[in-house]
Structure 1
Amino acid sequence: MNIQSSGFFKNYSNILLLLLGIIIGSLVGLFSPDFVVHLKPIGDIFLNLLFTAVIPLIFFAIASAVASIDQGQKLGRILSTMMLVFLMTIIIAAVFTIFCVWLFPLGNQLADTTHANVSLNKGDQESWGERAVSFVTVNEFNQLLSREHMLAFIIFSFLVGIAALRSGAPGEPFRRFLSSGNEVMKNLLVYVMKLAPVGLGAYFAYQVGTVGPQLFGLYAKPMAVYYAGGLVYFFVFFSIYAFIGGGGRGIKLFWRNNILPSLTAISTCSSIAVIPPNLDAAKRIGIQEPVANVVIPLGASLHKNGSSMSSIIKIAVAFALMGKPFMEPGTLLLAIGLTVLVSIVAGGIPNGGYIGEMLMISAYHLPIEAVPAVMIIGTLVDPMATLLNATGDTVAAMIVDRWVKQ
Structure 2
Amino acid sequence: MSSTASAVRGRSRARALLGNFGFQIIAALVLGAALGWVALSIGPVDAGTDAESPNWLTSTLDTIGSSFVTLLRAIVPPLIFAAIVASVANLQNVANGARLAWRTLSWFAITALISVVIGIGLGLVLQPGNHTTISLDQAEEPGRTGSWTDFLDGLIPGNPLGLGASTSVAEDGTASTSVSFNVLQIVVIAIVVGIAVLRTGAKAEPFLSFVRSALAVIQKVLWWVIRLAPLGTLGLVGNAVASYGWDSLASLGRFAIAVYVGLALVLLVVYPVLLRVNGLGVARWFRGAWPAIQLAFVSRSSIGTLPVTQRVTERNLGVPSEYASFAVPLAATTKMDGCASIYPAISAIFVAQIFGIDLSVLDYLLIAFVSVVGSAATAGLTGAIVMLTLTLSTLGLPLAGVGLLLAIDPILDMGRTAVNVAGQTLVPTIVAKREGVLDRARYDSAQAEDLFTDDDEESAPSDALPAPEPAAAR
Among 339, 343, 360, the residue aligned to 1:310 = 343
Residue 141 of structure 1 corresponds to 160
Q: Which residue of 2 aligns with 1:13?
A: 20
Give distance in 2, aligned partners of 1:390 and 1:282: 11
> 2-side partners of 1:8 and 1:347: how far apart?
45
Q: Deviations over 1:27-55 (max 9, x none)?
A: 22234223423321121211111111122
Aligned to 2:36: 29
Inter-CA distance 166–19: structure 2 relative to 1 (3 Å threshold):
farther
C-alpha separation in 1, matches of 2:211 and 2:226? 22
Distance 1:384 1:194, change over 3 A: same
Query: In 2, distance between residues paired with 1:348 and 1:404?
Result: 29
Paired residue for 2:322? 290
Q: Which amino acid letter does the alignment assign opposite residue 300 of structure 1?
A: A
Shift of 1:358: 1.9
Partner of 2:84: 62
Moved more, 289-298 or 232-241: 232-241
**Structural mapping, 1:2-401, within 5 Å:** 9=16, 13-33=20-40, 34=43, 35-116=57-138, 120-121=142-143, 124=145, 129=149, 131-144=150-163, 147-214=180-247, 216-245=249-278, 247-248=279-280, 250-283=281-314, 284-307=316-339, 308-326=341-359, 328-345=360-377, 352-376=383-407, 378-401=409-432
Partners of 1:66 and 1:75 within 8 A in 2: no
User: Matches of 1:355 and 1:201 in 2, distance apart?
Assistant: 29
* C-alpha contact (below 8 Å) 2:154/2:379 kept by paired residues: no
Counterpart CA distance in 1 for 2:389 and 2:66 is: 28
1:111 alignment partner, SS class: coil
Offset of residue 334 of structure 1: 0.6
* Consecutive unaligned residues in structure 2, runs of 5 or more: 1-5, 44-56, 165-178, 437-470
Q: Which residue of structure 2 aligns with residue 402 of structure 1?
A: 433
Residues 88/180 of structure 1: CA separation in 2 closer, same or farther (3 Å cut): same
Inter-CA distance 348–187: structure 2 relative to 1 (3 Å threshold): farther
Query: What is the number of residues matched between the two proteins?
Result: 398
Counterpart contact for 2:157–2:189, Cα < 8 Å: no
Which piece of structure 1 moves more, 69-78 or 44-53? 69-78
Farther off after superposition, 143-152 or 87-96: 143-152
Residue by residue over 1:329-356, the C-alpha shift from the partner in whole angstroms, topping out at 9 and shown as x without a partner, is 112101101112442355699x823222
Report the Cα distance in structure 1 between the residues aligned to 2:147 and 2:305, rounded to whole angstroms. 32
**Contact 1:42–1:202 (CA<8 Å) still a contact in 2?**
yes
CA contact (8 A) 2:378 2:387 kept: yes
Name the SS of the counterpart of 1:298 in structure 2.
helix
Instruction: Compare 179-188 and 131-140 and name the one that shifted more.
Output: 131-140
Whether the 8 Å contact between 2:64 and 2:232 is mirrored in structure 1 is yes
Change (3 A) 1:19 1:174: same
The residue type equivalent to 1:136 in the other structure is L
Partner AA of 1:97 in structure 2: G
Q: Deviations over 1:131-187 (max 9, x none)?
A: 343211233335437545221122112222222233222222222222222222122
Whether the 8 Å CA contact 2:142–2:400 is kept in 1: the answer is: no
Q: Does structure 2 retain, via aligned residues, the 8 Å contact 1:62–1:297?
A: no
Q: Distance in 1 between matches of 2:388 and 2:72?
A: 27
User: Alpha-carbon deviation of 1:21?
Assistant: 1.3
* CA RMSD, 1 decimal: 2.8
5+ long unaligned stretches in structure 1:
none
| Alpha-carbon distance between aligned partners in 2 of 1:86 and 1:384, rounded to the nearest angstrom | 19
Cα distance in 2, alignment partners of residues 111 and 148 from structure 1: 39
Q: In 2 relative to 1, CA 275–10 (structure 1 residues): closer, same or farther, beyond 3 Å? A: farther
Q: TM-score, normalised by structure 1?
A: 0.88
Deviation of 1:241 after TM superposition, in Å, equals 2.5
- Look up the SS of the partner of 2:128 in the other structure: coil
Q: Distance in 1 between matches of 2:15 and 2:307?
A: 23
In 2, Cα distance between the equivalents of 1:384 and 1:80? 28
Secondary structure class of the residue paired with 2:137: coil
Report the residue type matching 1:404 in the other structure.
E
Write 1 or 2 for the structure with the bigger share of helix: 1
Task: Give CA-to-partner distance per residue, 1:314-371, whole Å, 9 cap, x none.
Answer: 1111112112234x3112101101112442355699x823222221221122224312
Q: Summarize the Cα distance change of 1:143–1:290 in structure 2 as closer, same or farther, 3 Å threshold.
A: closer
Which residue of structure 1 lines up, in the alignment, with residue 457 of structure 2?
A: none
Which protein has the larger Cα radius of gyration, Structure 1 or Structure 2? Answer: 2
Q: Distance in 2 between matches of 1:7 and 1:182?
A: 36
State the 1:90 CA deviation.
0.5
Tell me which moved more, 145-154 or 391-400: 145-154
Letter in 2 for 1:314: S
The structural deviation recorded for 1:113 is: 4.3
